[in-house]
Structure 1
Amino acid sequence: MPDDNAPARPDGEGLLILANSRAGEAVVRADPLPEIRARLPRARVVVLGPEEDLGEVVDAAMAAGDRPRALGVLGGDGSVSRMAHLARHHDVPLWVAPGGTFNHFARAAGMPDVDAALAAFASGMLRDVTVAEVAVDGGEPITVLNAVSLGTYPQFLAERTERASLGKWLGGVGAIRSALAQAQPVRISREGRSATVWSVFVGVGAGDPRRHAMMQRASLEDPVLDVRLHHARGSRVRAMASLAFGRRTLRVLRALRMLPPASEFERRVTDEWQVRVDPGEGPAVYVHDGELEQAPAAGFTLEVRAVPAGLRVYAP
Structure 2
Amino acid sequence: MDAAKTPHADGRGVLIVRNARSGTAVIRSDPAATFGERLPAARVHELAEDEDLAEVVAAAMESDAAPDVLGIYGGDGSVSRMAHLARRYHRPLLAMPGGTFNHFVRALGVDSVDAAIDACEAGSTVEVGVAEATADAGDPVTVLNVVSIGAYPELIEERERRTSLGKWLGGVVATAAALRRAEPLTIVRDGRRARVWSVFVSVGRNDPDRVATMQRQEADAGALDVRIHHARGSKVRAFASLAFGKRSAAVLRAVRLFPRDADIERLLVRELELHVRPEPGHPSVFVHDGELEQRGPGGFTLRCVAVPRAVTVFAPPREH
Deviation at 1:248, TM superposition (A): 2.1
Moved more, 243-252 or 10-19: 243-252
User: Residues of 2 paired with 1:92 and 1:179: CA distance?
Assistant: 40
Superposition pairs for residues 255-294 of structure 1, below 5 Å?
A: 255-281=254-280, 282-294=282-294
Is 2:130–2:221's contact at 8 Å kept on the other side of the alignment?
no
User: Residues of 1 paired with 2:28 and 2:125: CA distance?
Assistant: 28
User: Residues of 1 paired with 2:82 and 2:179: CA distance?
Assistant: 34
User: Residues of 2 paired with 1:227 and 1:33: CA distance?
Assistant: 39
Pairwise CA RMSD: 1.0
- Corresponding residue for residue 4 of structure 1: none
Deviation at 1:11, TM superposition (A): 0.7
User: Residues of 1 paired with 2:74 and 2:273: CA distance?
Assistant: 30
Is 2:221–2:309's contact at 8 Å kept on the other side of the alignment?
no
Deviation at 1:31, TM superposition (A): 1.3
User: Residues of 2 paired with 1:262 and 1:146: CA distance?
Assistant: 23
- Corresponding residue for residue 312 of structure 1: 312
Deviation at 1:8, TM superposition (A): 4.8
Secondary structure, aligned partner of 2:21: coil
- Show CA shifts across 1:76-131 (max 9, x none): 00000000001101110000110000000010011012121121111111211101
Identity across the alignment (%): 55
Task: Tell me how many residue pairs correspond in the alignment.
Answer: 310
- Corresponding residue for residue 124 of structure 2: 125
- Corresponding residue for residue 27 of structure 1: 26
Moved more, 235-244 or 254-263: 254-263
Is 1:8–1:15's contact at 8 Å kept on the other side of the alignment?
no
**TM score, norm. by length of structure 1:** 0.96
- Corresponding residue for residue 171 of structure 2: 172
Deviation at 1:60, TM superposition (A): 0.2
User: Residues of 2 paired with 1:36 and 1:257: CA distance?
Assistant: 48
Superposition pairs for residues 164-313 of structure 1, below 5 Å?
A: 164-281=163-280, 282-313=282-313
- Corresponding residue for residue 3 of structure 2: none
List 4+ stretches of structure 1 deviating above 2 A.
Answer: none
- Show CA shifts across 1:29-71 (max 9, x none): 2112211221001100011111111111100000011110010
User: Residues of 1 paired with 2:21 and 2:118: CA distance?
Assistant: 25
Deviation at 1:138, TM superposition (A): 2.9
Is 1:8–1:69's contact at 8 Å kept on the other side of the alignment?
no
- Show CA shifts across 1:164-199 (max 9, x none): 111111110011101111112110001110000000
- Show CA shifts across 1:252-297 (max 9, x none): 2122221011011001000100011111232100000000001121
1:102 maps onto 2:101 in alignment: yes
User: Residues of 2 paired with 1:21 and 1:101: CA distance?
Assistant: 12
Is 2:221–2:306's contact at 8 Å kept on the other side of the alignment?
no
User: Residues of 1 paired with 2:58 and 2:27: CA distance?
Assistant: 32
Deviation at 1:247, TM superposition (A): 2.1
1:111 maps onto 2:106 in alignment: no
Letter paired with 1:308: P
Secondary structure, aligned partner of 1:169: helix
User: Residues of 1 paired with 2:254 and 2:9: CA distance?
Assistant: 49
Is 2:221–2:307's contact at 8 Å kept on the other side of the alignment?
no
Is 1:131–1:144's contact at 8 Å kept on the other side of the alignment?
yes
Is 2:131–2:203's contact at 8 Å kept on the other side of the alignment?
yes
- Corresponding residue for residue 65 of structure 1: 64
